[in-house]
Amino acid sequence: MSARDTDWEGVRLHVVTGKGGTGKTTVAAALALGLASAGGKVLLMEVEGRQGIAQLFDCPPLPEGERKVAVAPGTPGRAGGDVYALAADPESALAEYLEKFYNLPRAGRALNRLGVVDFVTTIAPGLRDVLLTGKAAEATRRRAGRRRVYNAVVMDAPPTGRIARFLNVATEVSGLAKVGPIRGHADSVQGVIHSPQTAVHFVTVLEEMPVQETLDGIAELRGLSPGGLQLGGIMINMVRPVGLSDDQLAAAAAGRLDVHDLALGLKTAGIEDGSGPAENLDLAGSLAAELTEHAREALAQREQRELLAGAGQPCYELPLITDGMDLAGLYRLASALREQGAA
Ligand SMILES: Nc1ncnc2c1ncn2[C@@H]1O[C@H](COP(=O)(O)OP(=O)(O)OP(=O)(O)O)[C@@H](O)[C@H]1O
Ligand SMILES: [Mg+2]
């Protein structure tokens, strides 16, 4: 593990949630790469059966089981570790569970063919969730001899609207199983999820709806009993550079830009449309309109950023990658997370 301090020292299961489409899968992958740069193995796990991780790393759909998908960028004097990926599904998790607790190898597969797994997970969605969170807890604790197999597990989790239920597994199955192995399993999973080893991070962009969902999600998780869950960071994704000073922003937002000044500035920069001063003023006029739009957006984003800062969790910013999301883009996001102490 890294000798350097991060904000989440001691956390070994990172749960990444957020509003749909804000970049959960991308940020979870970047976090996994960031954590793996210290060396060792990190497991990136998805639970929605969408093969989003395979798409992101541009590899064929993930088979059952864990597979290496990337090598993390190293740190000076040290090679990067490996990121493994797993598309967890309740069927395989149930099969593993039956094998482990009832010594029934392949029972899961047979049950699956008979439609029993579907039946069970449909009548008891809480069971489906406990199987998936159980898989995450198992990977987090897994050892080979005395060594842990994974330094960290990063879960690309369900969106904000479903995260509290998803993680509140012991309560969810309590009506279903009061005693016995399922109950015991749920309790032991709950033990990992509700421990300082687990943190729940929120991904958002600087827009009203996702920010509101983040704040609501944080409040909901804080309100969970018993003990609650450890809240993690707020990952502000797709941040664009502003490029204007505060004064310029205020002037531009108020539509107070001096068009003559802008025209002159354009001329000095060698940008003219060549047809004369009047046309140049037109050009400067459109530029002013665009700057006004940009400034208003930047100020609105600043407001959203302040709302997020008020939630009392560390905030991290990830830049908008404009030239397509590939491994190089993920490396950039990973290093942004590392520079800010998130990984
Ligand atoms: N920092 C970024 N810069 C540029 N593009 C980004 C960034 N983060 C995410 N994206 C792009 O935004 C889109 C949505 O990202 P992603 O799939 O990670 O979101 P998600 O929250 O997992 O979505 P879903 O809710 O559908 O699972 C993708 O096309 C992704 O490449
Ligand atoms: Mg996703």
User: Cβ < 6 Å from ligand 1: which residues?
Assistant: 18, 20-26, 52, 159, 237-238, 318, 320-321, 325, 333
CA of 152 to the centre of ligand 1 (A): 22
Query: Quick one: how far is CA 244 from the chain centroid?
Result: 29
Instruction: Categorize the per-residue pLDDT at 1 as very low, low, confident or very high, splitting at 50, 70 and 90.
Output: very low
Whether residue 73 has a cis bond before it, omega within 30° of 0: no
**Which residue is it, tokens 């490029």?**
243
Instruction: Categorize the per-residue pLDDT at 64 as very low, low, confident or very high, splitting at 50, 70 and 90.
Output: confident
Average pLDDT over residues 40-62: 93
pLDDT the model gives residue 103: 65
Average pLDDT, the chain: 89
Q: Which atom number of ligand 1 is nearest to the Cα of residue 320?
A: 3
Whether the pLDDT of residue 52 is over 60: the answer is yes
CA of 24 to the centre of ligand 1 (A): 7
Whether the pLDDT of residue 90 is over 90: the answer is no
pLDDT the model gives residue 192: 92
Average pLDDT over residues 170-187: 71
pLDDT the model gives residue 225: 67
Average pLDDT over residues 286-295: 94
pLDDT the model gives residue 311: 97
pLDDT the model gives residue 270: 87
Alpha carbons 79 and 237: distance in angstroms, whole number: 27
CA of 157 to the centre of ligand 2 (A): 8
Tens digit of each residue's pLDDT (9 = 90 or more) over 194-250: 999 999 999 999 999 999 999 999 999 998 866 679 999 999 999 999 888 999 999
* Range in 13-17, 92-96, 286-290 the model is least confident about: 92-96
Alpha carbons 27 and 48: distance in angstroms, whole number: 16
Instruction: Please choose, from the candidates 1, 331, 327, the residue with its C-alpha nearest in 3D space to the C-alpha of residue 150.
Output: 1
Between residues 273 and 271, which one has the greater pLDDT?
271
Which of 26, 48, 156, 333 should be mutated for ligand 1, with most atoms under 8 A from CB?
26
Whether the pLDDT of residue 21 is over 80: the answer is yes
Average pLDDT over residues 143-166: 96
Average pLDDT over residues 285-306: 95
- Whole-Å CA distances, 70 to 27, 67, 130, 218: 15, 9, 28, 31
Measured by CA distance, the residue closest to atom 26 of ligand 1 is 21
Biggest CA pair distance of the chain: 86
Helices marked H in 103-239: 107-113, 116-123, 125-141, 160-167, 169-174, 180-193, 208-223
Q: Which atom number of ligand 1 is nearest to the Cα of residue 20?
A: 25
Between residues 114 and 71, which one has the greater pLDDT?
71
Instruction: Please choose, from the candidates 77, 78, 83, 113, the residue with its C-alpha nearest in 3D space to the C-alpha of residue 95.
Output: 113
